[in-house]
Structure formats: C-alpha cells, structure tokens
Chain A
Amino acid sequence: MEIWEMSTKEILSLLKSREITAQEVLDSYLCRITEVEPLVRAYLEVLEPEARAEAAKVDAMLIRGEDPGILSGLPCALKDNLALKGARCTCASKILENWVAPYDATCVARLKKQGAVFLGKTNMDEFAMGSSTENSAFGPTKNPWDLERVPGGSSGGSAAAVAAGMAPLALGSDTGGSIRQPASFTGTYGLKPTYGLVSRYGLVAFASSLDQIGPFGQSVWDCALLLEAIAGYDPLDSTSSRKEPFPYTKHLESSLRGLRAGVPGEFLGFGIDPDVREGFEKILEILSDMGVIVEETSLPTLPYALDTYYVIAPSEASSNLARFDGVRYGFRASAPNLESMYQKTRGEGFGREVRRRIMLGTFALSAGYYDAYYLRAARIRTLIRRDFENAFEKFDVLLSPTTPTAAFKLGEKIEDPISMYLADVLTVPVNLAGLPALSMPAGFVITGEKGKELPWGLQIIGKPFAETTVLQVGNALEQEIGKEINDKIRDMRRDLTRTRECEPVD
C-alpha cells in the first residue's frame, strides 16, 4: 500500500514511531499529485521546494528526539485565500494573480508550529464566491468521482485534493457552505467551526461576519486533529473567542445513547433529491438503532435564510473587496486617470460572479436602500439565530443532508446564479447563526447515463462551541458506515489512476 493510500492516523503513527520519514510521506503525495493532478486540477500551486525543506526540518527534529508538534510532518493543502508567507495568495482571482503574502495567517502559523508540511495552495471560486469552483480565474477543478462534475465550492480544490489522495488534510474556508458543500460532493469530511473558534487573521475576507476557516480530512478524527492545531483565541482577530481550545481528538469516543437529534422539517422542503432523501432516512434509522432519539422539529425562519445571506454576504463583500483598487498591490489596468484606473482595474481584475456580488452589496448598503435590505436582513438573521437557540434547548444536534443533491455537472448551473445559490440552501443558515457543523460522507446515489455512484453528505449541526458533540456523533456514525464508504473511495481513487493511464491529459 502506498503511503498516500493510508489513513492520516496510520501515517501519523508511522511518523511518530519513525518507521517512515516526513520526506517519504511528502514524496508519496508529490508522486500522487504528479499522477492525478492533471485530471483533477485541485492545486493552483504545488510548493514542492518549500515542502521538501519543511519535511526535512521535521525529520531532523524527529531524529534529535524533539517533538515536532501534533502534525509531525503530515502534509496539508491550503485554500488559496489563506496567507502563507512567501507564497502567492491569489484567491483564484486575476486581481491578485501575482500577490505574494508577506505574512502568515494565524492558522498557518499554528500549523507550522505543529509540524505541518504545506503541499500547496488549492483552487477555489474567486474570493470564495461560488459553489462549484468554476468561478476560478485559473480554470475549474474536477470532481474525482466523475471528472465531468464539479467538486463543489468554494473550497473545491481542497476537497478534491483530499478526495483524490493528493493531500491527507486540507484547510478551507466556509462562508455559506464552502467547506461542507464540497466535502459532501467529494465524499470527504469537512468541518465549519463555530464563528470565532478559529482566528480569521490572514484569511482574505469575503463576508467577515460569516467566514470561518475549517479542516478537510479523510475521517472525523482528521478534522478533530486539524481543528485542534488551529483553534483558539488570537489577539489579532477581535472576533475570535477567548474560549480555551480543546483536545478534540482525545474526546471523540462517546456513546450516542440518549443523545437528542432534531431534524428540521424545513430542511427537507428544499427540493431534496429523492435518493438523497432516502439515504438520509436510512441514516436516521441507523442513528436510532445506536440509541439516538431522533425527532422532527421546526425552524420557521429557515426559508428566509438564503435571501438573508444574499444581502448580508454581498454587502460585507462589497466593502471587503474595496481594497483591490490597483493602487498598492495586485493587478492594475493602465488608464489615463485615477477614476478610470479604478474602473478598469476592478472591471478587468474581478470575474463575473465577484462583480455581481459587489454590485448587489453596494446596492444593499446604499442610502435609501440600507433599511430595506441590509438592516432588514440583519434583523432576520437575529430571528434565525433565535430559532436555532430554541431548537437547541431541546436537541443536542440538528441533522440534514449537506446539499439537496449530489455533485452537479460542470457548466450545469454556471449561467443560472439562482440555481447555483440554491446549492447552499442547507448550509447557509448555519453560518448566519455562527454554529459549528460537520459534513461527512453518508452514502451514495447513482446518477444518470453512466450509472456512476456519487457521494452525498450528512450535515451535523451543533450548539455554539459544541464541536466535541458534533465530532462525537460523526465519529460514532463513521464507525458504523465508514467501511463501505472507504471501500468506495479506494475504488474511486484506483479508477482515477487508471483514467490517467488510459487517457493521458496534457
């Protein structure tokens, strides 16, 4: 078995017992990247020399008997909206095409401290705006399960890298579902932490009150490990919580007996694919068998969440993206005067979806419209948050499918923004309420013509800062159903290698 085919836990234990070196682990992943990256296009940049140097450093520490940290040489991919000192940070936008970050994001600095080796920067929807990674200025990422389909977005590159075996771990960011939705589409595990648990310092902001950095992995344990490394108060982020970080990996095992899980009826009313619905019902039965008390419940304001999100997120984005003006860094269009320099730089530097959202947000914040749009949305957001609070008085977790359908086809929704926005209908409410939620592979649906199997994800939503509960539920369920899923992942990865051998691309 190749190293890249092992579970993260296995690799880590082999690293710690010094049966393999960090450099061997890295080699294995670099090899895998060479093999399938041309098909998947998960990375915008692979940082091979830097990664080799980091891996050598970790190995030197291990040889000296020093503790290189909890990641101990594990490779990790970074979404390209996270600042890694000395590496380009493009946000998959032409406007930042050649911008090199001069500092480390807090989460990156923390990963470095724990001995992570950064494989590269992953593709995404431009400035994290999108649900398919098709909005990247540098071309789309493909879904490893079906190369004609999208990996989801906006963290599609990170999700696809983990799914295809091109990284054991990856970081993404989630503003309205950008970790969970691609996790669901690619059969990976993705966690959006509670707002404030992970510092946003060094995450290029899309919508500051919604953005949260989180882990991708091949198991619940992976997510817990990565979260453990990055969580905790950061004085550089005024919105970060002072709550003490938690050793999540040490508290994963727990019986679910007596745990109360609510299923909000509103979540099932959003055009859920019948096969996903059926799979979801089956999961609820499995959970019941495990002793979970599953009950239907209601969050009456949920149907307004998507509309609310599409006022608040673009409003904040219109202001957050104002700094990309061509004056100090990034792309600058040549123009005869300041005004037209601004217009041309931003007109040419930003892609269509980004321009659309900047215009939406600018409109929503304009004098005369502010009360009707931004202020009203902010009020509905409070109501949605209250709805969740009420539900959590009765339940420990809330459950839903992560997305209404499995991965859709490349190009299928790109011309129809509303249908694209609907891909996030089940994830967006969680961001509005600032809650933690895990998406884990929970089953497969068979799609159309080729009869290919595609994964779908279960979303487990928790109370604020109750990541532990969420991870425990996920972990217990993974013990039940994970084997079948891992078998399918192995098959998918082999198919991918074979595809590469049969029809070489590039």
Chain B
Amino acid sequence: MTRHEYEMMIGLEVHVELLTRTKMFCRCSTRFGDPPNTNVCPVCLGLPGSLPRPNREAVRLAVRAALALNCQVNLSSRFDRKNYFYPDLPKGYQISQYDEPLATGGYIEIEEPRKRIRIRRLHIEEDAGKSMHAGDDITAASYSLVDFNRSGVPLIEIVSEPDMRSPEEARQYLEKLQRILQFARVSDVKMEEGSMRVDCNVSVRPKGSDVPGVPCELKNLSSFRAVVKALSYEFERQVGLLEKGEKVVRETRHWDESKEVTAVLRAKETSEDYRYFPDPDLPRLELSPEFVDEVRNSMPELPDQIVSRYVENMGLPRYDANVLTSSPALAEFFDKCVELGAEPKTASNWIMGDLLGYMKAKGIPYEKIPLEPRSLVEMLVLIKDGVISGKIAKDILVKMIETGKDPRTIVKEEGLEQISDEESLARVVEQVIANNPSVVEEIKAGKEKAIAFLVGQVMKMTKGKANPAKVNIILKDKLTS
C-alpha cells in the first residue's frame, strides 16, 4: 500500500486559560508576566491547612465556552483530584473533573471540507506552576526554579472526538476553536503566551477500515504550524512502520521544534496512574437551569453568526466575512464603520487591503487596530464626494495612522484635494498630449488601451490629485475631436 491508502485519525485535547481576574480556587491575580511568586497565597501554594474555594466567574466562563461549542452543560458535575508528583504541582494533585465533567457532546464546524468535528467533553481544572530548569530538562538540570504565579489559574480542557482526517483539518479546527473562544470572550487563546495548549492523539489505519489504529499522543506543540508539521511527521512515521510490517507503539511523543521530529517521551504502558477520586474539599458543582439560561442569553455574537450577518444582510462575499471575523476587534471595527455610514463592501475592501496590509507589515496585532473607525469612514466620505482620489486616500490612510490626525486635516494641511475642475484638467491634458505625440498616434490608430498611459501621465503631473474619471473623459474628448 502507499501512503495514499492510509488515513489519519486525529483527536485534539486543548487547554485554554480562562479570562478571569483571579484564580480558580483563591483570589490571587491571574496577571501574566508579573515577577515570579508574587501572585501567590496559602491556597495556590498548597500550604498545609489551606482549602480551595471555587471561582464563580470561572464557572460562568466555562459554561459560556461550553455553550459556544454546542455542548450539553451538565447541571451537576464534580471536582476530582488527579494525583501525581511534580515540583510545580504544589498539592501533589491537580483539581480537575474526571468522570462527571461540566459539559459533554458538542461540535465545531470547519469549512474545507465542510464538516462537524465532535467535542467529547469540556471540563474545568486548575493550572500548575511553571518550572525553569538550569539545564535541558529536570533530569539534566543542576537545579530548577518554580514560579507559582500560574498555579491555580483556571483552565478548561476541551477534548475532541478523533474526527479529523488530516493535519489541515486539525489546523482548521484549532483556528475555529480559537476564534469562537475569542468571540465568546472566554480566553485570550494565545499559544505563544501559553493561554492555549494543544496535545494531539493521532493514529493511522488503512482507508475504509473501521478499526482505529494505535494512537500516539503528541506534546510540546507551541504553534498551529508545529501542530501541522508534527501531525504530518507522525503520519509518515506511522505509515512507514506499518509498511515495514512493524507495529505502532502506544506512547507519548515529544515534538522537537528544531529537528522537526517527534521522539518518545514515555511509553503509555508505564504511564502514571493518577488515582482520580472525588475531591472531598469541594461540594458537587450544582448549576441552576436559570444560571445556564442567563449565560446563554448574555452570549456575545459568535463568528458563525457574524459571518452569516455579513453575507446575508450586508451582501459581503464569504471570503471577506471570514477575514473580518478573524478577531473580535476587527469585526467590531468593521461593524462600527458600517454603523457610522460606510458602505460595507467599500469598508471591507479598505480594511482587508490597506489597513490589514499596514498592520501586517508593522506586526501590529488585531487587538491593537491603530485607527479610529470614524477616521476611516470620514476618509471614505471624502473619496465618495470626490474631494480626494482613491490613490491619494492610500497615503492619507497611512498618515492618519501615523499622525493620529483626521483625514480632513491631512487633506487641508497638505493640499491634497482632488482636481476636478475641467479647465485646470484640460490644461494638463493638452500638455500631456503635446508631450506624447507617438502615444497619441497609437491611440488614433486604434490602440485605445494606451489611453491609460496618458491618464497616468496626468496623474503624475498633478501628483495624483487629478480626478481620474474626469481626466479619462477629457482625454477621450480631445483625442476623438
């Protein structure tokens, strides 16, 4: 068999930090980047005698995430202890939810191919601290330091069914998940900052088989790109083994970013027994139907809803709608422009083209759009009214961003009004005709496309301020008379 005769089964386990101000079981701050061990207390340090108390806001956000992912919220769920020893785990166990999770049975829709990826479960747990090793890893280090600022930060874990069949589908699932959770205002969902962490379960089997292959778990995936690469590598590796008549071993593998290979971390057979049992310090998590309804009713608009609003109500192409919903800040920006009177497709063109182009070039993230919607809309009005040309507007946009001035001020200060009066334009046109006799001949001989060259010359002489539509008319008029 060749590799085309195999298919992958990919399931993803995604950990996401919730956007609460305080931790899951104490009232310490969750702020990222503070000096080590400053946001700590007896509870998140696991000091003797301390006890956990659940954070209501974290529960609310977790329920919101569950609803946004089409899950069934279980009105009664339970906290369990996951027992293992590690220096950054201060209690020697992690409070998690094991066999009675907060939510079950959701899904995410991806576009290509259009399909549903099922979500098996979503549960709440607490984060561990962060170890820093004076060496490659804890076994090679001469010493290690632990920062407990992250200890106790609320997380949700979202476990998918093994429904993805290619690395590309996995990427789409993750992007969509990220987008949904951002729009639901549940999490920052940033892989670089660790507020989103992804583990993959991947197996291969001959196409058409209904027996799942032996899965491996992939860890240390720090970007979507790493996920795609690691999954592709695993596919080749596992198919290679099967082709050689060998067996895939169930194990946890570590993605080595620099070598771009996966390597065995530990065999599953010898993996730890976490000895889950109900946490006796915490009563069952009981939610009222009213609470869940309230969370549902206060759900922010989600990307799918926004896309269909853009496509169906505003007549935007699906492509535009998808780009504009890449981030909540961007969609908000666009909505504001339309609300201020901008024509949707025009606004979309300017946002997707010049604005995002500028931001990309300068490395500005979506959340920090360097422009007020009002300024963009004013600029569009100036174009529409013929005060400036579209070409000049491109420069004005950059100037607006860099100086913070509004477009009218820039136009006035720099004398950028479009020249529309026919007398002035006619003078320039005559000069261009006089300067380019050979081109004029070509046009008269029927090569009408060359007229664009003359328009360009007029624009050049007016430093882009001429109204190109009018120039066109005057030129045609002069050349045919």
Contacts and interface: CB of A to CB of B under 8 A. Distances in A.
B78 interface: no
Interface in B36-66: 42, 45-54
A200 B48 contact: no
B93 A322 contact: yes
Contact of A374 (B46, B50, B273, B277): B277
B275 interface: yes
Nearest to A208: B280
A283 B85 CA distance: 52
A456 B286 CA distance: 44
Contacts of A81: 49
Interface in B89-106: 90-93
A322 B85 contact: yes
Contacts of A204: 48-49
Given A204-B49, A322-B91, A365-B277, A238 B54 contact: yes
A70 to B, nearest CB: 24
Contact of B51 (A237, A319, A327, A374): A237
Contacts of A318: 83, 275
Contacts of A103: 42, 47, 50
B451 interface: no
B46 A323 contact: yes
B139 interface: yes
B118 interface: no
Contacts of B52: 238
A207 B278 CA distance: 12
Instruction: Determine the main DSSP class of A at the interface with B.
Output: loop
How many of chain A's residues touch chain B, expressed as a range? 35 or more
A315 interface: yes
A238 B54 CA distance: 8
Contacts of B283: 238-239
Interface residues of B, number: 30
A209 interface: yes
B50 A201 contact: yes
Interface string A218-254: 0000000000000000011111000000000000000
A125 interface: no
B42 A342 contact: no
B450 interface: no
B186 to A, nearest CB: 24
Interface in A296-330: 315-316, 318-319, 321-325, 327-329
Interface string B451-479: 00000000000000000000000000000
Given A101-B49, A325-B92, A208 B281 contact: yes
A154 to B, nearest CB: 16
B277 A329 contact: no
B42 to A, nearest CB: 5
A83 B49 contact: yes
B92 A203 contact: no
Contacts of B50: 103, 201-202
A96 interface: yes
A105 interface: yes
A89 B275 contact: no
Contacts of A419: none
Interface in B246-290: 273, 275-277, 280-283
B15 interface: no
B53 A235 contact: yes
A102 B42 contact: yes
A201 B49 contact: yes
A39 B92 CA distance: 39
- Nearest first, the 6 closest Cβ-Cβ pairs linking A and B are A322-B92, A209-B280, A208-B280, A365-B275, A204-B48, A202-B49
Given A239-B281, A239-B282, A319-B81, 17 more contacts: A91-B48, A96-B48, A203-B49, A205-B48, A236-B53, A238-B281, A239-B283, A318-B83, A321-B92, A323-B92, A324-B48, A327-B146, A329-B47, A337-B139, A338-B139, A365-B276, A367-B273
13 contacts: A89-B49, A101-B47, A204-B49, A208-B281, A236-B51, A238-B282, A238-B283, A239-B283, A316-B277, A316-B280, A322-B85, A338-B87, A365-B275
Interface of A: 81-83, 89, 91, 96, 99, 101-103, 105, 200-205, 207-209, 235-239, 315-316, 318-319, 321-325, 327-329, 337-338, 342, 362, 365-367, 370, 374
